[in-house]
Each structure stands twice: as structure tokens, then as C-alpha cells.
Amino acid sequence: MAETIHLFSAFGAQESEARATAEKILEVEKILTSASVGLHSIHNRFKMYNVMTVAQLVQNFSMIEWSEYFTALGFSNIDGDTDVVVLYPSYMAKLNSFFHEYYHNKEKKSILRDYLALSLVRSFRPFFDKSVFEMLETEEEEMEEPWKRCTFYTNKALGFATGALYVKGTDSEGSVEKMEKLITYVKNAFKDFLLNKYWIDKRTRTNAEKKVDAIIDKISYPSFILNTTFLNKYYENVSDAVIIFTCTQKN
């Protein structure tokens, strides 16, 4: 809870207000933790296979606008009769009850808002100054070396550009082609070894070969970061002042 108090204080709340909010958020976290399933359920695949239709999903767990959710994921052809697998229906039921209890109560709704805001801030932790999250044990504030701070935040803001500089500086462009050839050899060797076994029927062999061909090769770095036109377009709205401010604030 100390970290939560520290975060709310860092964003302008008075200590008493931050402590009161932190205590309420702690209760929310306890409720969500108690609703979670145990390890025995996680490793039991039979209990995890719970089929229901989308219509049943909407009826049982109304805390989510499921049609919008599926559309956002790219599944636009789903209707009420479509079957889905719900891994943890008991957890979903408890979460549904929790959501409606807090969402339809004015005071509790504000707590839910604060909890979601806190979760969002925590997810952006790498982009904040370390002092926002870290509570120093001594009164003397530790100052990070300016060059380390500047390098860290510049890389966060201009990752593609700094990545391109690294690739060009280390002369590693040719290694990607070598790795691509190596992966092609491995895939072909896998096909020759496994897919030609006599006990694999034709249909299984065809599907397995398609899966091997569908494997996405992620090697070293994406080639588009070496495209200057792409980089200029991608960073056209980034101001030099933003980077300079990020590097120099609190230093």
C-alpha cells in the first residue's frame, strides 16, 4: 500500500487523501484476488474447457460489451449462436458481480475509476522518472547520471531510429540474411524428417506443412527501421523540444 500512497502523492494528492484512496484500492485488489482461481484449476484442462454461445456469454457476463469487444478483435461475423470457450466461468461470474456492484454505486464507482487509473499509470512505468515509483530509504535523493537518463528516454521515444543507428553502427545488416537462410534450412529439414513419416496421413501432413510455412520469422530487427522515408514519416510529429525536455528535466 505504501507504493500506492507514494504514487497518488506524486501526482498531487495530499497524504491523508492518498492514504484513504490507497486503503479503498487495497480492498478492491483483495476482492479481485479472492475471485481468482487456484493453481489446481489452472492446470486442469478439463475444467478450463467450458463451451457456451455468445448469447449465453452476454447474458451471464454483462460487464463487457461483447459485440464491441469481438469487433475490435476483428471478429465481425460472430452472432449469438457462435460457440466460445470460457476458461474460468466462476471467476468471470465473480468479476461480473464485482463490476456491477461498483459501477452502479456512485462512491464505489469513483474507487473503481481510481483503481483503473492506477493500473494505467503502473503500465507506463518505464516512461516515468524513476523517482515517481521508487521510494528512497534515505532522505538524500539519488541522482542518476544524466547521460544514462538521456539515453534511456531518447531510446524510449525514438526506438526505431536508435535501433537503426545501432544496426548501422555494428555492421550487423548482413547477419539477418544469414539467419533467414538458416531458418529456411531448419524448416525444410523439419519437413523432410517429420512430414515424410509413413504413419502421418495425407491430411495431417498437409495441415502440418501449412503450419510450418505460417511460422513468422522474427530475426534481430524489422527491416523497415533502415528505411529513412519511413522513419521521417513515423516521427514527423515529434518535436526536438520534447526530447530535450525529457532528457534535461530534474537534472
Together in a domain, 124 and 229: no
User: Quick one: CA torsion of 72, 215, 198, 202, rounded to 10 degrees?
Assistant: 40
Model confidence over 140-193: pLDDT tens digits? 445 456 777 777 778 877 888 888 888 888 766 567 778 888 888 998 888 888
Report the alpha-carbon distance of residue 230 to residue 236 in Å, rounded.
Answer: 10
Q: Does residue 165 sit within a domain?
A: no
Q: Does residue 228 sit within a domain?
A: yes
Model confidence over 26-78: pLDDT tens digits? 998 898 888 887 666 666 777 788 899 999 999 999 999 998 888 888 887 88
H or E, element range at 23: helix 15-35
Radius of gyration of the CA atoms of the chain, in A: 26
DSSP conformation letters of 35-81: HSPPHHHHT-HHHH--EEEHHHHHHH-TTS-HHHHHHHTT-TT--TT
Q: Does residue 16 sit within a domain?
A: yes
Residues 42, 43, 44: CA angle, nearest 5 degrees: 95
Q: Does residue 2 sit within a domain?
A: yes
Q: Does residue 163 sit within a domain?
A: no
Together in a domain, 13 and 122: yes
Q: Say if residues 234 and 160 touch (Cβ distance below 8 Å).
A: yes
Query: Counting beta carbons within 10 angstroms of the beta carbon of residue 150, is it exposed (0 to 12), middle (13 to 18) or buried (19 or more)?
Result: middle
Together in a domain, 199 and 145: no
Together in a domain, 118 and 182: no
Q: How many domains does the chain have?
A: 4
Distances (CA, A) of 33 to 41, 85, 114, 138, 225: 15, 23, 17, 33, 42
Together in a domain, 107 and 96: yes
Q: What's the pLDDT score for residue 172?
A: 60
Together in a domain, 154 and 245: yes
Together in a domain, 215 and 241: no
DSSP conformation letters of 127-165: GS-HHHH---SSSSPPPPPHHHHHHHHHHHHSHHHHHHH
Model confidence over 92-111: pLDDT tens digits? 999 999 999 988 888 889 88
Owning domain of residue 245: 140-158+224-250
Q: Is the pTM of this model over 0.75?
A: no
More reliable by pLDDT, 18 or 43: 18
Together in a domain, 201 and 238: no
83: left (phi over 0), alpha (psi -120 to 50) or beta: beta
DSSP conformation letters of 215-244: -----SS-GGGG-HHHHHHHTTT--HHHHH
Q: Does residue 167 sit within a domain?
A: no
Together in a domain, 37 and 55: no
Model confidence over 184-239: pLDDT tens digits? 899 888 888 877 777 778 888 888 888 888 887 877 777 788 899 998 888 888 76
Q: How far apart are the first and last CA of the chain?
A: 29
